Amino acid sequence: MGLSPVLWQFLVKWMTNFAIIPPEASTAAPWVDSLLVFMTLVSMVGLVLVGVLVATFSILYRKSAHPVAVQIEGSTLLEATWTIIPLGLFLVMFVWGSVLYFRIYTPPPNAMNIYVVGKQWMWKAEHPGGQHEINSLHVPTGIPIQLTLISQDVFHSFSIPAFRVKREAIPGRYTTVWFNATTPGKYHLFCTQYCGTQHSGMIGEIDVLTPEDYKKWLAGSTSGVSLAQNGERLFASLSCNACHNGQPDARGPSLAEVYGSKLTLSTGQPVLVDEAYLRQAILNPSAHITQGYAPIMPTYQGQVSEEGLISLVEYIKNLSSNYRVQQTLNTTALLPEQPDKTPAKGAMGVAKP
């Protein structure tokens, strides 16, 4: 940023070799580092200035050299100087920092989504294609990847120092963060929010792969059931389709293409249907009644795990028609080996098993 690339490379190499900053492995890392370098320089100048002032005055005006003090009231000009200059510098850091913040926490619309559930004391990653990982995360380079985080118990925090990103995993709500990895390699994953006994054991590895290697990894680690398929199975086994079947006389609203739409609740309040809304509507339906429907849906609080909720949400997100919902109305078990009509709408990069 403003610095010549050669100089920047040199600076980064120097700092990583002397172990002052972690490796830069995402597009956000150089952005953050340039602000950090700027702040460090400003701080050093400030510190040196204070140090020089104190040292010079101490030497010049020590008692033996300057036996009688000259009383000075103050100086409005100087007060203004050291109010305005620090304020200006701090405001530059504020604006620069805020721009970064918005960039780091606003995922691009085409980002590939991976769900991450934190629990005492492990990280579980749920890839859309059904790959599950514990305390590790495989991601390809060059594609924006969004993580949707939630915690099953206490606060956790998903931190990847090499990417300069971190986000709290909070019980009861989804948070998101995104990154675009640039350099293949293995990087630290830390839980940085204190979460109990094994807090320091809640660490893992981010494995950044080239797109080819990533494809291989995807193919080699699939569980055979994608998240949406798993969600479909849950949808049937919890008998959601008994009401949400899309029939004109159904007791529950149709869920096809509901994701991303605007609903009006029975309270008259308009809502945007996103992941968080879907999750809340399953757990606490009485507070999320769509206009025109009776409040008859029971709560599923405590009956579905966070992973199950993620599957359900992912299923509903990708539900484009009620055809299969109706097909499975009276089916008790859904065979997973039927990927032909897997609803895989949208750009979520659902990998075929």
Among positions 253-312, residues that touch other proteins (CB under 8 A) are 283-284, 287, 301-302
Token pair in block for residue 162: 């090499």
Q: Decide whether 59 or 296 has the Cβ nearer to other proteins.
A: 59
Query: How far is it, in rounded angstroms, from Cα 55 to Cα 50?
Result: 8
Determine if residue 120 is left, alpha or beta; phi over 0 gives left, psi from -120 to 50 gives alpha, anything else beta: beta
> Does residue 2 interact with other proteins by CB under 8 A?
no
Q: Cis (ω within 30 of 0) for the bond into 31?
A: no
- Applying the rule CB under 8 A, the residues between 145 and 164 that interact with other proteins are 153-155, 157, 159, 161-162, 164
Binding other proteins by CB under 8 A: which of 102, 220, 294, 340?
A: 102
Q: Decide whether 6 or 70 has the Cβ nearer to other proteins.
A: 70
Q: Decide whether 181 or 255 has the Cβ nearer to other proteins.
A: 181
Binding other proteins by CB under 8 A: which of 135, 192, 223, 247?
A: 192
Q: Are strands 204-209 and 136-140 parallel, antiparallel or unpaired?
A: parallel
Binding other proteins by CB under 8 A: which of 98, 305, 320, 326?
A: 98
Q: Decide whether 77 or 333 has the Cβ nearer to other proteins.
A: 77
Q: What is the C-alpha end-to-end distance of the chain, expressed in Å?
A: 42
How many amino acids of this chain bind other proteins (CB under 8 A)?
A: 90
Binding other proteins by CB under 8 A: which of 1, 3, 99, 296?
A: 99
- Applying the rule CB under 8 A, the residues between 57 and 96 that interact with other proteins are 57-58, 61-63, 66-75, 78-79, 82-83, 86-87, 90-91, 93-94, 96
Q: Decide whether 306 or 314 has the Cβ nearer to other proteins.
A: 306
The least distance separating other proteins from the CB of residue 339, rounded to whole angstroms, comes to 35
- Applying the rule CB under 8 A, the residues between 13 and 42 that interact with other proteins are 19-22, 31-32, 35-36, 39, 42
Query: How far is it, in rounded angstroms, from Cα 321 to Cα 334?
Result: 17
Query: How far is it, in rounded angstroms, from Cα 281 to Cα 298?
Result: 10
The least distance separating other proteins from the CB of residue 10, rounded to whole angstroms, comes to 18
What is the layout of strands, in order, in the sheet containing 185-191?
136-140, 204-209, 185-191, 156-160, 165-169
Residues 202, 191 contacting (CB under 8 angstroms): yes
Residue 187's DSSP bridge partners are: 206
The least distance separating other proteins from the CB of residue 98, rounded to whole angstroms, comes to 6
Look at residues 234, 187, 233 and name the one whose alpha carbon lies nearest to residue 207: 187
